[in-house]
Amino acid sequence: MSVLSEVVRTLDAAGVAGWQREIAEALASSLDDDPNASTAKELKSLMGELVGAQAEPKGDVSDDLAAKRAERRAASS
C-alpha cells in the first residue's frame, strides 16, 4: 500500500481538511516517489498533530477515572 493512500484513508477517517491536509498529502506523495527519512519524520510529526489532536480525550482525566471506577463497582455488585 502506498504512503499516500494510507495517509488519505487516515485523514478521511479523522475528518481532517484544509491546508494541513494538503501538506500531509504532498509529503506522502513525495515519500512514494522518493523515500526519505527526513520527509518521513516530518509526515509522522504532522500526522500526530492532525490525528492525535482529535483523538485526545476532551473531558477531565479524573472524571474518566471516576466513571471507570463506578462501572467496575456496578459490574462487581
Find the helix or strand (DSSP H, E) in which 74 lies. helix 61-76
Residue 34: the pLDDT is 93
Domain count, the chain: 1
Where do we find the cell 498533530? 49
pTM of the predicted protein model: 0.66
pLDDT, tens digit, 9 for 90 and up, residues 9-61: 999 999 989 999 999 999 999 999 999 999 999 999 999 999 886 655 556 66
Q: How confident is the model at residue 75 (pLDDT cuts 50, 70, 90)?
A: confident
Answer yes or no: is pLDDT of 73 > 90. no
Q: How far apart are CA 34 and CA 56, in angstroms?
A: 32
Handedness of CA 18, 20, 22, 25 (dihedral sign): negative
Domain range for 39 is 3-76
